[in-house]
Structure 1
Amino acid sequence: MISKDVFNFLKQLEKNNNRDWFNENKLTFKALESDIKVFYNSINEKLNVHDKTDKVKVFRIYRDVRFSKNKLPYKTHFSGSFHRVKPNLRGGYYFHIQPNNESFVATGFWDPSKEDLLRIRKEFEIDDDEIRTIIENKTFKSVWEDLQGDALKTAPKGFDKEHKAIDLIRRKQFIFTKKFTDKEVQSKDILEQIDKAFKDIRPYFDYMSDVLNTNLNGESLI
């Protein structure tokens, strides 16, 4: 479980986002951070029952303010990611803990390489029926809703702006998210809820992994 203390600390940090307050409360932070890491490792253990992921990465709470207009030193959330084992498995999982009902899980492709992005777009150009069948499935949408992510305003170079799949081809990211309330995150079954959502993304991941591991003739690249 994720305790109420986690949310209380993050709320206080949001009001006192400065080094003096943080240093005064660093022992509390370290204790909570330790519990959070245990929870993220529990998610990873669940994932590896039905998938294969690398070691979990829990992100630091310290913000990199060097190139940011926002100079607040600390994030007001906890977060961590889980990457599937390449080259066979593609895609990644993410869990974000933030008060005021801002917690969520996310899955998909945040920053595909130039080569992967072109391969995905070419697949959609040839045939977008299979991907639409997956992401428009009622059961799938009841969990993950609509495809999200940044997109170009027009067609990428070399693609027809009138193509019937241009809504997919224009995308630069291919992400799904699912929100959780504070109450849900603190519930006894939150670990199971997260794991179920991650299981439900598999048809999408299986399809994208197959696309990225084959050429346009369907021949394996690995």
Structure 2
Amino acid sequence: MAELFSHPPFPGFRLEAFGFLRALTANNDRDWFKARKETYEAELKEPLGLLLTDSARRLADTDLPLTAHPTDSQFRIYRDMRFTEDTTPYKTHVSGVFDRSGHRDKNGVVYVHVEPDSCFLGAGFYQPSVSYLRPVRDRIAAEPERFLALLDEMKARDLPVHSMEDTLTGMPKGFSDYRDAPIAPYLKWKNYVVKRDYPDEALQSPNFAGEIVRMAQDVRPLLEFVWAVESSS
């Protein structure tokens, strides 16, 4: 916790940050990036770290169990090219995540994505393991009305829950009895996530740290529905 208070407040991303990412899209190669790595660190990596710590400080003033680390909670800009034919070495965005440990190793997060004309906050449960999903599906099956009410509540907050079109084609093992139930589509989901889009200008303001807290508060019903499964399993 002390480390959070050793960092200055988030100042907002400068226009140069978005300019760098646009230029990287057009010049996605190692030589170009290496010559401008200091710009990347000054305009993107360091401000993102400040956004993470500033927001984490504000979250610490709530009873939400979410936090972040200035470096551990950032995703690397270097792409993993082991399983793709796309050989471009760098992502054209930067991103970070708030979870319950501050080290990107807990399910149930708020995710910040910084990309020109495509900035957003996401939240929920993204690509959890099958073993993690099993008790979640059990609870949905056991409390279908409560889960459907949760979906309605999130939709009313303009944060509809979805699976990013990543679903099973058939019912998961052990749930075939629910194939005709209203909850059948949701038992097939592999993700339970929400998204809120922002213009680039919003991330240029120091106030965006407060937006992350608001997002965390708004998505709380979804997070707690699933976290409750952990504590009971």
TM-score by length of 2: 0.82
Question: Which is worse superposed, 11-20 or 48-57?
Answer: 48-57
Question: Which is worse superposed, 118-127 or 147-156?
Answer: 147-156
* Distance in 2 (alpha carbons) for counterparts of 1:147 and 1:115: 20
Aligned partner (choices 99, 103, 115) of residue 119 of structure 2 = 103
TM-superposition CA deviations, 1:29-76 (whole Å, max 9, x none): 121221221122212222222222354311111112132211001111
In structure 2, relative to structure 1, the CA distance for the partners of 1:54 and 1:39 (3 Å cut) is closer
Equivalent residues of 1:135, 1:147 under 8 A apart: no
Structure 1 unmatched ranges of 5 or more: 215-220
Alignment partner of 1:70 is 2:70: no
What is the letter of the counterpart of residue 81 of structure 1? V
User: What fraction of aligned residue pairs are identical, expressed as a percent?
Assistant: 27
Question: Which is worse superposed, 12-21 or 202-211?
Answer: 202-211
* Distance in 2 (alpha carbons) for counterparts of 1:11 and 1:90: 31
Alignment partner of 1:200 is 2:214: no
Cα deviation for residue 12 of structure 1 reads 0.6
Cα deviation for residue 6 of structure 1 reads 0.9
* Distance in 2 (alpha carbons) for counterparts of 1:142 and 1:47: 20
Aligned partner (choices 53, 78, 82) of residue 66 of structure 2 = 53
In structure 2, relative to structure 1, the CA distance for the partners of 1:76 and 1:157 (3 Å cut) is same
Aligned partner (choices 34, 41, 54) of residue 42 of structure 1 = 54
Tell me the residue number matched to 1:3: 14
Cα deviation for residue 85 of structure 1 reads 4.5
Tell me the residue number matched to 1:141: 156
Tell me the residue number matched to 2:3: none
TM-superposition CA deviations, 1:161-204 (whole Å, max 9, x none): 22221011111111111111112222342222221111111122
Alignment partner of 1:175 is 2:208: no
Aligned partner (choices 99, 109, 112) of residue 92 of structure 1 = 109
Equivalent residues of 1:131, 1:204 under 8 A apart: no
CA RMSD of aligned residues (A): 2.1
Equivalent residues of 2:97, 2:110 under 8 A apart: yes
Structure 2 unmatched ranges of 5 or more: 1-11
What is the letter of the counterpart of residue 5 of structure 1? E
What is the letter of the counterpart of residue 97 of structure 1? V
In structure 2, relative to structure 1, the CA distance for the partners of 1:76 and 1:67 (3 Å cut) is same
In structure 2, relative to structure 1, the CA distance for the partners of 1:131 and 1:85 (3 Å cut) is farther
Equivalent residues of 2:78, 2:90 under 8 A apart: yes
Cα deviation for residue 2 of structure 1 reads 1.7
TM-score by length of 1: 0.86
* Distance in 2 (alpha carbons) for counterparts of 1:184 and 1:148: 26
Equivalent residues of 2:112, 2:121 under 8 A apart: yes
